[in-house]
Structure 1
Amino acid sequence: MDWEDTVTVEHVDTEWHQYFQNALKTDHKLDYNQNNHCWCKCSENGIDFEMTDNERQHYISFLVKIPKLFDKLKHWPITEQKLLVLAVARIISSNEKTFIQINTNSTYNALVKMAEITKTTTSTPVKVRYIDMICSFVEHEAGLKWTLENECWTGIWDLVMQCHEENCDEVNQNLYNIISKFLQKTSKCSPKICEHVTKQIMQPVISSANKNYPKTKKEPIEMINIKDCKNLEQTLKCSIGILERLLANISETGSEALKYFSHLLHSCEILSILSNNIESSMQLNCVMTILCFYGITELFDGITVVNHDPLVLSGFLKIVEREMRKENLKSVLELFYYAQKYWDCISTRVPKHFQNGKPIDIKYVLTAFQVEPIMLLGEKLLQNPYSDEETEKLFRDISLKAMTNRMSEECVKLGYKLRSEYAKAPMGSELTAFKCIIKSKPLYSRECLALVFQILIYGFKDFVKYVNGDAKLAEIEHNQLIGEGMLQAILVFLEDFDLSWRESLGSLELPGLNYEFYTCTNKWNPNVVLLFLKILDITISKNLSANMVLLVDYNSDHVDGLDNMGSMLLGKCASHKVEVREAAMTVVCTICEKVNEGFKSFERILLHHVTLDIILTIATSDFINSIRAIALTCLQKMIVMNQFEAYFLSSPFINKIIEHIAKEKDPNALKVSLKLIRQIYENNYNKITDNLVQIYSLMSKVAIEGENMDVQEEAVKFWEFVTRQNLERQGMIDDDFPNVTFSKEQKKIIRLDEKEIRKRLFQAMDSMSKTGCFNVYRQILVNPDTPANVLATTITIITNFSKLLKRYDVTREFITLNQNYPNLWSIASNIESPASNCAVNDESLGELIEETMMQMTGELSFTEMFPLPSNLNEAGEFLMLKDPENPIVQVSPVDFIEFIYRKLPSLRT
């Protein structure tokens, strides 16, 4: 393309952009602009939102003008704009009236041409969006008729395969969703379309099976060419994605579409017999399992009880036995996972089968098959694993008997065949078993969860016994992998653990086993150490032992296990592996929680090993933000421990935290640091007088100048406590003043009438002014850049405070009077004391003085009695007066009341 052609295309693109801009610039749902040619709100299939009738008409007008603009420009819009057009067409075309209105001027024919799906340069997203639009047409009769007349549907499967990308799961999942919905719809409204597309899907597999069928008649059987298997992988992967969705929707319309895939079962069986490729065999077996399970729902439609095991009747066991003959034990374990997944879709449609009067739960049977390699682990690793543990053997035999009693005769036979094969096979299937039960966990019933967890503990116990006698065994790479897989599986089951000890006794043994496992060698790989620490954390936090002695007082070779755990945590807190260091600090944090909950044995770890100095060093110097935050959280939890009080209240400690806050950049760590300061202040205000000025100055700076809104809000919470604290020191309880209170200074009961409360409110405000509290609130309220949540929190605080002042008539004039005549209200007029012999009692004297003062002030003008503040600028705004020797900026109570009475109403609006 020469320079002139380039200019022309750019000009055309500019005109298209102007059209889109003018048509959609006010549409906040699409959010079209020069930097965003697509949309802001979209689902997995494009745009997805509710629209009004006006919006619908707007989009119709937008679409119908596109062909006219093309006739003028002779050039289609760019890819991003095509995506937007196709997405809009998809969402509004599902409505039949809208479809008819758009189609009156052949708009859809133009959109089909615009997609340019036959061009090699057309991008995959455009093709996917085009398929989505065409599939939306079959939602109603008018769209279906148009689709049939224009034969747009005939090439859909070819487009799907073009768009199906091996390494792009997101695109593939989108395609599966679209085409499965298309098949569901057409199976009802146009079976011929559904049948045609399903034949296209099945054709490569059926053709390959027919070509290779004679090979199944030979002795020995001639296996299929690996290249042929590879050629089918994309087709099989796509077929599985579609079939899975149809099976999941079998209760709706999926069953109708699945009927058309029945011919695929025999072809997959032929290819599975001939395939030695593990990946292809698994894909073929998945297709067969789906179709087998669907078949029994059709076979027993309407039947509620059967005399034979549905799993056997489905033909699934034959698929397993075929893979066993190929010695593909790992594939067999994968098959049990997929069987769990697919059975979950049809379980409500399969009749019940009873064994010895008890209903057979197929998912329980499949789970039992899954855990067999783990049950055999001890027998494979140890020659006589139960020689000194007859009780243990008894428990395991009971578990095995309980499983076999729940199986049909055919399943029991298969179980023993599997057991024999696993026993002969080299180590390796266990790792696959761990992975498969992790994937299957969301599918398990509560009973199955308890079974798997118990078997995992048995396997873990056997493995620990195996490696515990010889550290070199634990250092073998394969054993490291088994330990890692075991811990990963146990951790996954622990994460939302709520099984009782009665359901799974293994929970009682796990804490001790976990610690014994770790001490087998000091050369576990970092992944194993990380998993050990996570399990250690969760067993402590969830109290999985009957009592914590199983963990904290666990003894090994007469060495105190608690001290060993303390030194171990100390070492891991200094690990060069970030994940390990973070996990170790998390365990320390959990230990702090448990100490506060009453498990005092853990205090020894904090006193003798992971000390406050170490935690403080990590909190202020670790280069990982999250680790600093966890360490600071540990310090928060330790504040309430009496034995550490002197450390936390020392000036060196507080100074280090203040210095750390000044240089901390991470918002989360900074927020935790501020909370730590607030906790120290709340619990020990009277014991940190040497650091109060530093704390007030720091919290003022952060609250006013903080760059992160969460950090600012944490600082505002500190000042909220300062406000509450000053009011409570004056006698306020639960946001109100009681009728009487006890005065520690006068050692008498004081009656809190309105005059006394006003005095106390003034004293509280005077103290708040000196701490810088009023300045913080004022600066936040006047700053136009204050974050919304910080502003809202501050307004709430000030609103509640102003209501309190108004309730007791604390005005600017009242405070000025107190400032000018500080001794006026010092008469203890409301001290409850025995009756006096004086002619005028204290109360009468107070009233007399108040009346006299009113007479005096009545002779003066308002401005003479209550002069305006001296720190006003020409605009009437307050200037902050700052003492060079005191870093705290103060706003006087008079100034602050004047400010909030003037400013607060406008802020509320």
Structure 2
Amino acid sequence: MQDCEAWARVEDVLEKLGAVEGDGALLAVRDDTLLLKLHSHLHTFLLHAKEGGQDWGQRVTLLHFVQTVLDPLVVANTSNSASVALALRVLASLVTVEADFSNLEDSKALSLFMVSLPSVRSEPSLASPALSLAMALMAHPDGLLWLVKNGIWEKMLLPCLRSPSIFVQREGVNAMVTFMLNLRDTQHFEGLVKDLYLLSDKFCELRSHMDNGPEAEEIRQTNLRVLSVFKQLFWQTLGKSGIYTKMRDVDDINIRILAILQNKVSDSSVSSCTDLLILNLLHKFYEKLMNYGILEQFLLDSLCADVITLSRLLLERGYIESFVRSSANVHKYWDVMMKRMKEEHKIDLTSVEALLHIITAFEVTCLVALYQSCLGKMMEAWPEKLKIMAKWRDEVQNRISTKEEIKAEAGKLERQMVASFCKDTQKTVQTAVTCITAITAVADHLNPACAVTIFQGLTFMLCSQVCPSSPIRHHVGLQRTVIDGVRKLVERFNIDWRKCYASVCLMGKLCDMAQIPGLSSQVKVSALKAMNSCINGFIPPVMSMLVNSGNLEHNSVEQMGQVLAVYLADVKWEVRDSALEVLITCMKLAKEKYPHFVNWLGRHHLNTAVITAIGDVEGYVRASAFTVLANIISIDKDWWSPKCSNLPAKKNSSQNNRLENGQCPNNRRAWSELELEEENLPHRALSAVLNEGEAAARKAALTLVQELFLAGKFSEEEVDSLVVRAVQHCAEDPDNEVRLAALEFIRTHLLWSLGKNGMVDGEFPSITFSRGKIIKLDTEEVKSRVVKVLNWVCECGYLCVLLASRRDLVASVASRAREVFCFLSDLVTRYQITQEDDDDGGGKVSRVGAGTAKDSGQQNSSPSRPGTKEPLKEETVLGHLDQIDKTIQEILNSSTLENVSTIKRFPQPDTTSPVPPKKLVLTPKDMPQACPSLPLTSLLQAFTALCQPHCCGDDEKNQVTEMISLLEDILLDGERQQRHLDDQGLRDCY
């Protein structure tokens, strides 16, 4: 029924959109994104109809709309571009789902498309959907032949290369490559390649007689698109099938590329040419390898010799930057070719690394030149540096398994590069920056042994900072590039001392770099991120020894503590935040493996800096500080003692008795006990949860509150009157991450309450100990305890939060709330709890808290719970409960959040003030109003509707409903017209 209503509205919309006036104008849609959304829905339903064997799409009606809109008179009117684009997209969808191509030809829609093609390709907004239609036709078994017969190559694809829109140019390149690959085994392929050769030859001919200008730039861009077509042809077939012979049978592409390089062209053109030459060489190697059937060493020798010749050609003509960019791509191309050959032909060539090592040696040559040209005095003072460099070079050469004459040629070229680089230090620095950036861009494709070689070169450059004349002490770009390069290699390849002994000194060199005077904030952030990666990767490998060796001087971890102490007070918030990120990692490691990080934290007074950071002016810094403190609290729950705290002491604790007598079980905690208590951290964290202006800070503060709660830093009264109400407030936060954190707190609080009532690892043991007594937990006792927890969930307001969150518009929030509901439903089912099990009977609200240690018959006088001094009248109670049940039922039956507002508080406006002073003490009057209490019957009633899995038809119904709403927006019927025009938010939602 709903489908019929949707299709009737679609026909109405299409009829109005296709109503042509006298001058060929159509109905104007002010927001063309609505039409994009309409096509998305139509395409989805057409695919569903094809899969189900149905004719839901009413293709006849859609084809009639396409024929009307693609009339040449309509297409020529520029005001109709949005409707024409919709017609082209609809036609592409019809081509996708149509099995009988003759139906499309008989409808004349494709003929109208070809007739209107001159107007379509001149308008960029129409050229893109037209290319989508062409791609759909190429994918159709009979559509490709139709495109060839109608000359789509000359009429549309080639003109796209000169389109004024760069997006149309890129889409045109993809369409041309697909077209050529589909015709690769036909006689048409040769003609297509020759057409591209003509464009390239025209570029070379005109470029030699033309100065720089608009026309010259247009020709250059067209040539770049031609090179992109050839590059994509080689790239998509690399390692899969040979195309080198087919291209060479037409003509030699290398001659044309070298002819382009003869002219003075830009770096982008040179890079495209070089990439194409390298891909051509790899295809040549691939085809010869497949013809021989086995790997012959002379094939690899020939490939290495060709690459050395190409490198020398580029360097002699001054294309250094283009050379280093393209040489980095060799790693990527080789890696992809090897993987495809292994998948397609079961050939594994991972042991062949000679080419990669030659290229790697070229790449680090600029670093070697910098090292040698700027460190002459240091070389004289420390000759062992020369020995280290010589040993490293020998290791690189030993990895190259090829002919000696090729090694000699490679070494000769490297020496020429070093001599050239040493003449101009500034140019060498720029080349080094370009080279390192290009290498790290393809880090995922580097061979591990080559990655170690590059890592060694970058580490040697970091070591050169001890020399005052080293460029890494003065050049900001080089500093940042080297540090980021080291970090990416460490993260990608997990380099440790077993792979490269230079990694042992990496952390210390990063600390030395961070202490260079006048370092820019960007470099400081890069250094801190690299330190973080080193800690995560356990570099240096003696991390555990260094952390536990506080008396040793100049070890890297102690240096890192000194650096963090300085950077936590930096004027730039990015530096402070990055330093806190390092501390977060350290505290996580302290919790998991290295508790000595705690002593290290106090030894460098970093704890004081973190406490100060929770009052920082920048919200993200405050968020990171809260996260550090949350990790600190989670390390050890007993950091605070009653002697150092104003909080009520835990009863029956032998540890507390010792502390009252002046005995501290662990002196290393003294700094944290005193300083954290003086800062009144629990109340400051609660205040941040309520008043922080940054969502990230609110979430981090709530996480800290959760850790403080688990550590027992809140009394029972504070939990009931402060913490629970703050969590309810966070559940209504505008930011979905904060709402998720609130639901996580509720889940944690629920598990904590069950644990306090005797549950261990999800089960209740048969016996338990309480106040020195052995208590047997029979079925009724367990059931009573579970009922008490469920009553508490309903009474404290958590049930209202879960009901509202279950209908949250963000899927992750609604899913998390549903998980909590399913956990509660499992408790009810496992322990067979019914409405008769309510403590007060008759569906009345229980006043017993889940976390109290009192008997179940006593009432809790917590400020967050209603008083029970005077009994309520039965009529009043029943009337109130009836209203609650009615509200719950409305929520369960509603698809919106309108009814939730009847039991849900509205969030208070956010403030941007930082964390309040340490002397702040919150009271219940400072907290938001608590959510109302609900009876246990409300929770039991909610399970039936909320814990059912979604049926598969719900998504389709939602799609139909959404499309009906969309059609109403397009039609602009009645009162919706003016409101739609005035409401920018309604238009933006699409």
Per the TM superposition, whether the score is higher than 0.5 is: yes
Rounded Cα–Cα distance in structure 1 between residues aligned with 2:153 and 2:113: 15
| Structure 1 position 333 matched with structure 2 position 324 | yes
Shift of 1:414: 2.8
Matching of residues 653-692 of structure 1 within 5 Å? 653-684=681-712
Instruction: Mark the CA change 1:21 to 1:613 in structure 2 (over 3 Å): closer, same or farther.
Output: farther
Paired residue for 1:79? 81
TM-superposition CA deviations, 1:201-242 (whole Å, max 9, x none): 2213324557899xxxxxxxxx99777985652233112321
Q: CA separation in 2, counterparts of 1:436 and 1:554?
A: 40
Q: Which amino acid aligns with 2:16?
A: Q
- 2:67 pairs with 1:67: yes
Q: Structure 2: how far apart are the matches of 1:890 and 1:32? A: 44
Query: Map of 1:708-719 to 2, 5 A cutoff?
Result: 708-719=735-746
Q: Does 1:289 align with 2:278?
A: yes
Q: Tell me how far 1:534 sits from its aligned partner.
A: 0.8
Runs (5+) with no aligned partner, structure 1: 1-13, 23-30, 214-222, 823-827, 830-864
What displacement does 1:387 show? 0.5
Structure 2 residue aligned with 1:392:
388
Indicate if the aligned counterparts of 1:229 and 1:280 stay in contact, CA closer than 8 A: no
Offset at residue 391 of structure 1 (A): 6.0
Quickly say closer, same or farther: Cα 1:41–1:562, change in 2 above 3 A.
Answer: farther
Q: Distance in 2 between matches of 1:698 and 1:211?
A: 73
Aligned to 1:26: none
Can you list the C-alpha shifts for 1:481-530, whole angstroms capped at 9, x where unaligned? 322221121122122332443222222221111112222x2211222211
Deviations along 1:454-484, one digit per CA (max 9) or x if unpaired, are 23223322x22334xx6x96653xx333222
What is aligned with 1:842? none
Confirm or deny: 8 A CA contact 1:713 1:789 kept in the other structure: no
For 1:796, which of 818, 822, 840 is the aligned residue? Answer: 822
CA contact (8 A) 1:511 1:536 kept: yes
Give the AA of the match of 1:269: L
Shift of 1:369: 2.3
Deviation for aligned residue 1:38 = 1.9
- What's the CA shift for 1:430? 1.9
Going from structure 1 to structure 2, the CA distance change for 1:41 and 1:567 (only over 3 Å counts) comes to: farther
Which residue identity is paired with 2:481? Answer: G
Shift of 1:628: 2.6
1-structure distance, mates of 2:549, 2:467: 20
Q: 2:153 — aligned with what? A: 153
Equivalent position of 1:522 in the other structure: 517
Q: Pick one of 475, 490, 493 that aligns with 2:489.
A: 493
Task: Give the 5 Å matches for 1:604-753.
Answer: 604-624=599-619, 626-639=620-633, 640-641=635-636, 642=639, 643=669, 644-645=672-673, 648=676, 652-684=680-712, 693-703=721-731, 705-744=732-771, 747-753=772-778
State the 1:116 CA deviation.
4.0
CA deviation after TM superposition for structure 1 residue 545, in Å: 1.2
Hey, what does 2:944 align to over in structure 1?
905
1:349-396: CA deviations, max 9, x gaps?
A: 7999999xx855423332232222223432122226350457635632
SS at match of 2:519: coil
The aligned residue for residue 776 of structure 1 is 798
* 1:372 aligned partner: 365
| Structure 1 residues 66 and 458: CA distance shift in structure 2, 3 A | same
Matches of 1:782 and 1:249 in 2, distance apart?
51
Instruction: Determine which of 413, 417, 422 is the counterpart of 2:418.
Output: 422
Letter in 1 for 2:296: V
Partner residue in 1 for 2:230? 243
Q: 1:243 to 1:731 in 2, by over 3 A?
A: same
Equivalent position of 2:34 in the other structure: 36
Task: Select which of 260, 270, 278 maps to 1:271.
Answer: 260
What root-mean-square deviation, in Å, do the aligned CA atoms of Structure 1 and Structure 2 show?
4.7
Match of 1:317 among 308, 316, 338: 308
Residue in 2 aligned with 1:175? 172
Range that drifts further, 590-599 or 70-79: 70-79
Residues 305 and 400 (structure 1 numbering): CA distance in 2 closer, same or farther, change over 3 Å?
Answer: closer
Q: 1:453–1:474: structure 2 CA closer, same or farther, 3 Å change rule?
A: closer
Cα distance between partner residues in 2 of 1:248 and 1:563: 49
Structure-1 residue corresponding to 2:296: 306
**Alignment-derived partner of residue 186 in structure 1:** 183
Report deviation, 1:907.
4.1
Structure-1 residue corresponding to 2:664: none
Q: Does the CA contact (< 8 Å) of 1:38 and 1:81 recur in 2?
A: no
Larger Rg: 1
Tell me the distance in 2 between the aligned counterparts of 1:682 and 1:116: 71
3-state SS, counterpart of residue 684 of structure 1: coil
Q: Give, in angstroms, the shift of residue 159 of structure 1.
A: 1.5
| TM-score normalised per structure 1 | 0.77
Aligned mates of 1:682, 1:555 — CA distance in 2: 31
**Cα gap change, 1:312 to 1:98, in 2 (>3 Å):** same
Alignment partner of 1:873 is 2:866? no
Q: State the shift of 1:719 in Å.
A: 3.4
CA distance in 1: counterparts of 2:575 and 2:704, whole angstroms: 25
Does the CA contact (< 8 Å) of 1:739 and 1:753 recur in 2?
yes
Match of 2:867 in 1: none
Contact 1:661 1:673 in 2 (8 A): yes
Deviation at 1:670, TM superposition (A): 1.8
TM-score between the two structures when normalised by the length of structure 2: 0.71
Offset from partner CA, 1:648-706 (integer Å, 9 cap, x none): 56782212111111112433332222221121111216767666532233224334x44
Whose RCO is larger (CA < 8 A, sep 6+)? 2
Within-5 A mapping of 1:255-270: 258-259=247-248, 262-270=251-259
Instruction: State the alpha-carbon separation in 1 of the partners of residues 710 and 17 from structure 2.
Output: 62
- Residue identity matched to 2:627: T
CA contact (8 A) 2:161 2:172 kept: no
Cα distance in 2 for partners of 1:889, 1:224 equals 78
Deviation at 1:891?
7.3
Change (3 A) 1:489 1:82: same
Structure 2 CA distance for aligned equivalents of residues 807 and 353 of structure 1: 64
Contact kept? 2:787, 2:833, Cα under 8 Å? no
The structural deviation recorded for 1:180 is 0.4
Residues 397 and 260 of structure 1: CA distance in aligned 2, closer, same or farther (over 3 Å): closer
Describe the shift of the 1:388–1:276 C-alpha distance in structure 2 as closer, same or farther (beyond 3 A).
same
Query: Shift of residue 20 of structure 1?
Result: 6.6
Deviations 1:46-76 (A, max 9, x none): 9996761546863464124432466698566
1:839 aligned partner? none
Distance 1:540 1:316 in 2: 39
Give the match for residue 534 of structure 2: 539
SS at match of 1:749: strand
Given the superposition, is the C-alpha separation of residues 653 and 342 from structure 1 closer, same or farther in structure 2, using an over 3 Å criterion?
closer
Kept in 1, the 8 Å contact 2:568–2:576? The answer is yes
The number of residue pairs the alignment matches comes to 812
Shift of 1:533: 0.9
Q: Deviations over 1:105-134 (max 9, x none)?
A: 322111223444377xx4224224324434
1:19-67 Cα distance to aligned partner (Å, 9 max, x none):
4799xxxxxxxx9997512247879x99996761546863464124432
Alpha-carbon distance, 1:248 to partner = 2.2
Letter in 2 for 1:488: D
The partner residue of 2:935 within 885, 892, 896 is 896
Specify the code of the residue in structure 1 equivalent to 2:821: I
User: Does the CA-based 8 Å contact 2:308-2:409 persist in structure 1?
Assistant: no
Q: Tell whether the 8 Å contact from 1:337 to 1:436 is kept in structure 2 after alignment.
A: yes
Could you tell me how far apart the structure 1 residues matched to 2:45 and 2:127 are?
Answer: 16
- Asked if 1:812 corresponds to 2:838, the answer is yes
Cα distance in structure 2, aligned partners of 1:254 and 1:17? 50
- Deviation, structure 1 residue 600: 4.7
Q: Aligned partner of 2:760: which letter? A: I
CA change 1:364–1:742 in 2 (3 A) is same
SS where residue 308 of structure 1 aligns?
helix
- SS for the counterpart of 2:184 is helix
